[in-house]
Chain A
Amino acid sequence: MLALTAIVPAQPRLGAISGRVQVLRTTQPAERRPNAADFGAQPPREIPDLRRAVVYLERGPAAALESREPGRASMDQRNETFLPHVLTIDQGTVVDFPNNDRTYHNVFSLSKIRKFDLGRYASGKSKSLRFDRPGVVRVFCDIHSHMSAFILVFSHPYYSKAEADGRYRIDNIPPGTYTVIAWHEGEARETKTVTIPAQGGDVDLDFVVQ
């Protein structure tokens, strides 16, 4: 974590950054490990949407952070898939992990910022966790090796998960110069610098993720 010094006007006009993230790299959902010991083929599973990028400010001013109450979010387990595949939350948010499959799942993470193991729980049950530290949490199922997901925990509200067509928008940004990052599947793929002028306004910023 880094400390940031930023200059914010007493009553700043706010701006926004919007644009499109074009994901050119080929990404495929993790296949089930082929198991020669199986009696037969496994049923098809849900295919997660891996093309969603996340755009965020590397560092953000504190004012908006202080005014936002962390809420609740959910990461479903359905058809042997975590849904959504990428979950973006504010620091302090409580995430529910409902199991909506007819089999056990065992959600766990070995990520440094939040190590946890929820154990096995049945269909219709849910367990919850609070995420207090910012960073990336890689989530897995201990039973199904092809199940994985990301939780991105932010210490500020200046982030946006791209829509299916790649469009994103980050609102209410105080004037200043910021580093903006497009993240995709575990890595910060592209970094750009942008300035929100003192009079506010929208800034267009497109990314191409190779």
Chain B
Amino acid sequence: MRLIHVTALVLLAATGAAAQTIPSEPITFGEGRVVLSGDASLSISPKDEGFFNYSNYEQTTLRQFSVGMTGLFRLSDRLSLLGELRSDNLEYVTALALYARIRPIPDKQLDIQIGRIPPTFGSFSRRGYGHDNPLIGIPLAYQYLTSLRADNAPADADELLRMRGRGWLSNFSVGNVRPEPGVPLVSSLTWDTGVQISSRWRMITAAAAVTNGTASNPRVSDDNSGKQFAARVTASPTIGLTIGGSFARGEFLGRQVRSLLPAGDRDYDQRAGEIDVEYSRGHLLVRAETALSSWRMPIGTSGAAMDLRSTATTVEGRYAFAPGWYAATRVEHLGFNRIAGATQTDEWEAPVTRVEAGGGYYVQRNLIAKAALQINRRDGGRVTRSQLLAVQLLYWF
């Protein structure tokens, strides 16, 4: 017999638990027929004096506590119900999504979704959840509030120009004159109601929808007897590369304002188009998107109208430089067309340029700590510049 010393294996629960200490998997009931997942995020930043990050819920996306719960109920091979409840700062609870998903032929990738459905337009809305957003802020196109409202219209071009850079609390003199937030180019925080059909074939995914609202003003109920048609097509010609394009056209102006205008068949609509690309390889992920929107808005009550256009371009990148660590940057610009008033000619809304840079650390697989510095420049408004340092803790299961 001889005495030997051996390094021993210690497989304690703590070893495995070291990497996973809080629940990470969705909750399932009824043999997988009911699946629940959730997320919670706490974002902290200094006060956003320039209202650059305010959303249509009158809250800044850099300074809030947000919780959400998503449920999937599989009633059969052909029918599922999906819902998502969200609350920001625990002030209210909204049903962001609530719809039925029908798959007429179980083994064919053709789905029909009816109810409060996910946005068809754009790419960000499908990855807006914190863990797929490498930074803390939301891209300008999907969050920044312009001065336009569906229930309120300017009396003339000068009134519109005077509202530049004040979209978080806008009001004009035609329609509902109570000050309220304007609309972003595309809303990612509110979803529309209607019917959506989608299918996949090889590298192509296509979806089309008819809904009550528009890309910038999704609605539960119809407020103007006009429907929006939206379509999106994506192609993945090679693994890691996805190219997408979307189009949407819908009646924007609410009947409250329309009733003040001369009778006629003029459309006061929003038309929007966008293209996006995502490429990833190794530890690098790059995304770019350009979205264009045109609102046809009445000017006063004479029946005159003008096209108000906006273009948003976003480029973002993420690089994982060590296990659990990544750095990210987003550069973007939101621009507007020029209009002529009685005293000045200018962009109808103040252009905004934003750079956000930061990074994240995976405390565990489903718990991320992020930090980012966001720099905003705006060509108008009371506050034209801001630098906001934000941190966020995000958990999901």
Contacts and interface: CB of A to CB of B under 8 A. Distances in A.
Interface in A1-57: 1-10, 28, 30-41, 43, 56
B5 A4 contact: yes
Interface residues on A, range: 35 or more
Contact of A113 (B15, B196, B323): B15
Interface residues on B, range: 35 or more
Contacts of A183: 11
B344 interface: no
7 nearest CB pairs, A to B: A40-B111, A34-B72, A39-B198, A36-B97, A59-B8, A186-B16, A119-B282
Contacts of B70: 33-36
A62 B16 contact: no
A117 B83 CA distance: 33
A8 B88 CA distance: 65
A119 B109 contact: no
A109 B10 contact: no
Contact of B240 (A39, A60, A120): A120
Interface stretch (B17-25, B251-259, B296-304): B17-25
Given A33-B70, A36-B118, A136-B16, A3 B9 contact: no
A111 B80 CA distance: 36
A150 interface: yes
- Tell me what chain B mostly uses at the interface: helix, strand, loop, or mixed: strand
A152 B207 CA distance: 44
B80 A41 contact: yes
A136 B109 contact: no
B7 A155 contact: yes
A129 to B, nearest CB: 11
A110 to B, nearest CB: 5
15 contacts: A10-B1, A34-B70, A36-B83, A40-B199, A59-B8, A60-B6, A60-B8, A62-B5, A103-B239, A111-B18, A112-B15, A112-B18, A117-B322, A138-B365, A155-B6
Interface string B78-106: 00101110000000000011010101000
A58 interface: yes
Given A39-B118, A40-B109, A58-B9, A34 B362 contact: no
Given A5-B5, A7-B1, A34-B70, A39 B205 contact: yes
B84 A187 contact: no
Contacts of A145: 365-366
Interface string B185-207: 00000000000101110000101
Interface in B49-72: 70-72
B204 to A, nearest CB: 12
